[in-house]
Structure 1
Amino acid sequence: MSARSTISLTALTAMALGGAASVAYAEGEVNLYSSRHYDTDERLYSDFTEMTGITINRIEGKADELIARMEAEGANSPADVLLTVDTSRLERAKDAGVLQSIESAVLEERIPANLQDSDNQWFGFSQRARIVFYDKADVTEPPVDYVSLADPKYKGMVCHRSSSNVYSQTLLAAVIENHGEEAAKAWAQGVVDNFAREPEGGDTDQLRGLVSGQCDISISNTYYFARALRKDVSGVTADVDKIGWVFPAQDAEGAHMNLSGGGVAANAPNLENAIKFMEYLASDQAQQYFSAGNDEFPAVPDVALSESVSKLGEFKPDAVDLSKVAKNVPAAQKIFNEVGWK
């Protein structure tokens, strides 16, 4: 049986809008809506099918588009599982009413409490630490925590992504949760004052900025850098030895963790298979592949790391409840607007 049955999003939607949700039910299948865009995830799906005999019908799209489509499809949605990146999007799906609470002793036992929704509507399956990278030739005293990024001594040295990016939003939302809104606003203003250039590009572009000399300090998720250690990434790998890194706030809250996870759709026609797939993603086999295939940190404790991720070293992660962090995203966006963080 094929691990992936290609069904277009339009076709599935047509089925849903044309009749009851049962039209999307199929014994031995699960309909996955995913905004994870990594080719390496193919291995996760093929292994699941090999183990269970359950075919995955995968539909890909941007997270907000998939959430909006699930809302529009309503009770007739064919979606069984939603996978997406970042806590804010998982919480957005919950708030939109497109996920449901599930009972799973496996997920409860294996996924740490701070990496799952308090109502069991979503669970984290992999993590990335959002940390400080710097040019070793130009920076002898890199920032040791997030607060230090606002220190005037780093004026004109910092590269960062735009405020519209979910990674930026969730980091500031975590600063709000850990330090309060007033301190978070002062921090955001200080970082803007220290920008080497206007925010642009993705995380890999922030690393390229260090190599090219556009900036001396940048923020990126660890898996972008670990990927450059494992294989050739244009503009980074050839000069990777020039880049140093710091896991921030090791004497305080710990390094901010960005989450990738999923939940069972509110009207899942293949509910039992959906829960089986979610539980599989928490298995040692799948957790190890998140690290080996996409250079991420497993959500389940004590799972072996890939060589590229291990090279980053041990660190203390921020154990803040990410469901609370997600609720701070609107306040974070308001602060971004107020301080002129584009």
Structure 2
Amino acid sequence: MIKKTLLALALTAISAPAAMAAQEVNVYSNRQDELIKPIIQQFEKESGIKVNVVFAKEGLNERLEREGKLSPADLMLTVDISRLTDLVDKDLVQPVDSKLLQENIPAAYRDPDNRWFALTTRVRAIYSSKERLGKLDTISYEDLVKPEFKGKICTRSGKHEYNVALVSSMIVHHGMADTKSWLEGVKANLARTPQGNDRDQVKAIKDGICDVSLGNSYYLGAMLKDPEQKAWAEAVEINFPNQTNRGAHVNVSGVAMTKYAKNKAQAQKLMEFLAGDQAQHMYAEVNAEYPVKPGVEPSAMVKSWGSFKVDALPVSDYAKHRKDALQLLDEVKFDL
């Protein structure tokens, strides 16, 4: 009897670490720590599952590829569709069959084969000088080639993923030839060589370098919360393009389960939590992004910018044209 008891205790001691490990999930994240930390903490509190996060702005897809089957990562949290597509192209992720994810995330914002799921959306907005141009309610991306904008446009590199996604969507709507002509026209209207980030373009508007810029919508919220950048944000209007036709282009942040995830059940629970009402609301409040789950409202600040029509083009449809977009940007020497 004593021997049986000792054996049972020994087996319990051996299995305990495995049981504890099963209640963890490992995440590689391109998303900034201050954004996801409160969401992760809430998930840990509610689920009892410990979340280990490795954050890096760049290089995580490459790290996952190098690690192969030995990677500890269960989930990838990314900041744009290009990185999600790259994960699929490199066969680094696996499908997740979840009724909850399919219910919470519209089909336009998830992979047709369930290998990635969007968590938030952001508009590729057009910012305009309040003082010199005012609100441009009817502006379109196509309008940026008009003579009235000669020498008045600022943008970051055309090859940045946010602009590549926009160009990719233009290819779907207009074809390669017309999109190339559009890029040539936008380049001809630039006030300066593409440089900096989206916030730098808004600062350039305030400084009088240009009157119009391309930039993601959530940066306006970030600048309004930053004492040093608030004046930049207050110098511009945010405009949602193409409201008289197809609607504004949106990009996404998203999540995918790695191909060799060791903690699949726990990883799926976290994915489902991130697509639920509570996390979606937290995303909206913390980062001024648009929730992907229907029925979850944006933050009060974001709502104050007004409602708008979204381009119904599925994200996966324009993501297929990333290489085409890069080819056109090279052909027109957009950044030179």
Asked if Structure 1 and Structure 2 have the same fold, meaning a TM-score greater than 0.5 normalized by the shorter chain, the answer is: yes
- The structural deviation recorded for 1:163 is 2.0
The residue aligned with 2:139 is: 144
Rg comparison, structure with higher value: 2
Task: Say which of 63, 80, 84 aligns to 1:69.
Answer: 63
Unpaired runs of at least 5, structure 2? 1-17
Task: Say which of 96, 119, 138 aligns to 1:125.
Answer: 119
Q: Is the contact made by 2:199 and 2:223 (CA closer than 8 Å) also made in structure 1?
A: no
Separation (CA, whole Å) in 2 of partners of 1:309 and 1:81: 29
Q: Is the contact made by 2:284 and 2:290 (CA closer than 8 Å) also made in structure 1?
A: yes
The residue aligned with 2:167 is: 172
Separation (CA, whole Å) in 2 of partners of 1:146 and 1:60: 34
SS at match of 1:180: helix
- The structural deviation recorded for 1:239 is 5.0
Query: Structure 2 counterpart of 1:56, which letter?
Result: V
The residue aligned with 1:11 is: none
**Are residue 285 (structure 1) and residue 278 (structure 2) matched?**
yes
- The structural deviation recorded for 1:233 is 4.6
- The structural deviation recorded for 1:61 is 1.6
Normalising to structure 1: TM-score of the pair?
Answer: 0.89
Q: Is the contact made by 2:139 and 2:242 (CA closer than 8 Å) also made in structure 1?
A: yes
Separation (CA, whole Å) in 1 of partners of 2:57 and 2:135: 39
SS at match of 1:88: helix
- The structural deviation recorded for 1:226 is 1.9
The residue aligned with 1:322 is: 315
Separation (CA, whole Å) in 2 of partners of 1:273 and 1:140: 49
Separation (CA, whole Å) in 1 of partners of 2:62 and 2:285: 32
Deviations for 1:50-92, whole angstroms, at most 9, x for unmatched residues? 01000011111234x2111111111222110001011111000
Query: Structure 2 counterpart of 1:323, which letter?
Result: S
CA gap 1:161/1:146 in 2 versus in 1, 3 angstroms: same
The residue aligned with 2:291 is: 298
The residue aligned with 2:24 is: 29
SS at match of 1:195: coil
- The structural deviation recorded for 1:238 is 2.3
Q: Is the contact made by 1:178 and 1:253 (CA closer than 8 Å) also made in structure 2?
A: no
The residue aligned with 2:269 is: 276
The residue aligned with 1:96 is: 90
Q: Is the contact made by 1:156 and 1:196 (CA closer than 8 Å) also made in structure 2?
A: yes
Separation (CA, whole Å) in 2 of partners of 1:220 and 1:146: 12
User: How many percent of aligned residue pairs carry the same amino acid?
Assistant: 38
- The structural deviation recorded for 1:30 is 0.1
Separation (CA, whole Å) in 2 of partners of 1:84 and 1:169: 16
CA gap 1:52/1:292 in 2 versus in 1, 3 angstroms: same
Query: Structure 1 counterpart of 2:23, which letter?
Result: G
The residue aligned with 2:151 is: 156
Separation (CA, whole Å) in 2 of partners of 1:320 and 1:82: 24
- The structural deviation recorded for 1:42 is 0.8
- The structural deviation recorded for 1:95 is 0.5
Q: Is the contact made by 1:67 and 1:96 (CA closer than 8 Å) also made in structure 2?
A: no
Unpaired runs of at least 5, structure 1? 1-22
Q: Is the contact made by 1:227 and 1:308 (CA closer than 8 Å) also made in structure 2?
A: no
Separation (CA, whole Å) in 2 of partners of 1:273 and 1:113: 24
Deviations for 1:234-261, whole angstroms, at most 9, x for unmatched residues? 24x1254431221100121111111000
Query: Structure 2 counterpart of 1:199, which letter?
Result: P
Query: Structure 2 counterpart of 1:100, which letter?
Result: Q
Q: Is the contact made by 2:118 and 2:254 (CA closer than 8 Å) also made in structure 1?
A: yes
**Are residue 198 (structure 1) and residue 193 (structure 2) matched?**
yes
Deviations for 1:22-61, whole angstroms, at most 9, x for unmatched residues? x9x9221000000112413210100000010000111112
Task: Say which of 248, 255, 263 aligns to 1:262.
Answer: 255
Separation (CA, whole Å) in 2 of partners of 1:250 and 1:46: 39
SS at match of 1:277: helix
Query: Structure 2 counterpart of 1:104, which letter?
Result: S
- The structural deviation recorded for 1:228 is 2.6
Which moved further from structure 2: 237-246 or 312-321?
A: 237-246
Normalising to structure 2: TM-score of the pair?
Answer: 0.91
Deviations for 1:188-225, whole angstroms, at most 9, x for unmatched residues? 11100000011111111111111111110001111000
Task: Say which of 217, 222, 242 aligns to 1:249.
Answer: 242
Separation (CA, whole Å) in 1 of partners of 2:282 and 2:124: 20
**Are residue 53 (structure 1) and residue 51 (structure 2) matched?**
no
Query: Structure 2 counterpart of 1:150, which letter?
Result: V
**Are residue 222 (structure 1) and residue 217 (structure 2) matched?**
yes
CA gap 1:77/1:232 in 2 versus in 1, 3 angstroms: closer
The residue aligned with 2:180 is: 185
The 4+ residue runs of structure 1 with deviation greater than 6 A are none
- The structural deviation recorded for 1:96 is 0.7
SS at match of 2:93: coil
Separation (CA, whole Å) in 1 of partners of 2:134 and 2:78: 38
Deviations for 1:315-339, whole angstroms, at most 9, x for unmatched residues? 0111111112111111001111111
How many residues are aligned here? 318
- The structural deviation recorded for 1:305 is 1.6
